[in-house]
Amino acid sequence: MLSTDSKILVVDDFSTMRRIVKATLKQLGYERIVEAEGGEEAQKIIKDDQIDLIICDWNMPGMSGLDLLKWVRATDSFKDVPFLMVTAEAKRQNILSAIQAGVTNYVVKPFSKQVLAEKIQAIAEKA
């Protein structure tokens, strides 16, 4: 189970979305939040740090959120880290691809802060 001491990685190429996600996490009591602007930067953080939850955008320049998810699930040392995909790609096929790749849950943009908070809470209780 996640606690308010858990370290959470927020990955998005748009600072606006990182701010919205961070504000929601802080409202839920999480203070240990690290950020990455893309998949490659996220890989370095995940390798070097103990990350307890990854909240990641799908559509980013360079490495996509889906590619980062596949890399996380294929790497023994952090393959079980919960992964919440935040995506504007609401097409059924995309959601199926994320599920097949092992996503823990996903939030479709646009979303209210309430919906995002509920998804994070649901993961926190199961993790």
Partner 1 sequence: MRAEFINELLNATVTVLETMAMVTPKPGRPFIKKKRISVGDVTGIIGMAGEKGLQGTFAISFSESCILYVVSEMLGEDFTELNDEIRDAVGEITNMISGAARAKLADMGYHFDMAIPTVVCKKEHTITQVTKAPVVVIPFQTEKGGFIAEATLWRGSAG
Under the rule (CB under 8 A), what is the footprint of partner 1?
14-17, 19-20, 23, 59, 61, 87-93, 108-112
End-to-end CA distance of the chain: 4
Of residues 79 and 113, the one with the C-beta less far from partner 1: 113
Of residues 90 and 122, the one with the C-beta less far from partner 1: 90
Of residues 90 and 99, the one with the C-beta less far from partner 1: 90
Q: State the sign of the Cα–Cα–Cα–Cα dihedral 84, 53, 82, 10.
A: positive
CA–CA dist 60, 58 (Å, integer): 6
Query: Whole-number minimum distance, CB 59 to partner 1, in Å?
Result: 5
Query: Whole-number minimum distance, CB 43 to partner 1, in Å?
Result: 20
Tell the burial category of 5 from Cβ atoms under 10 Å away from its Cβ (0-12, 13-18, 19+): exposed
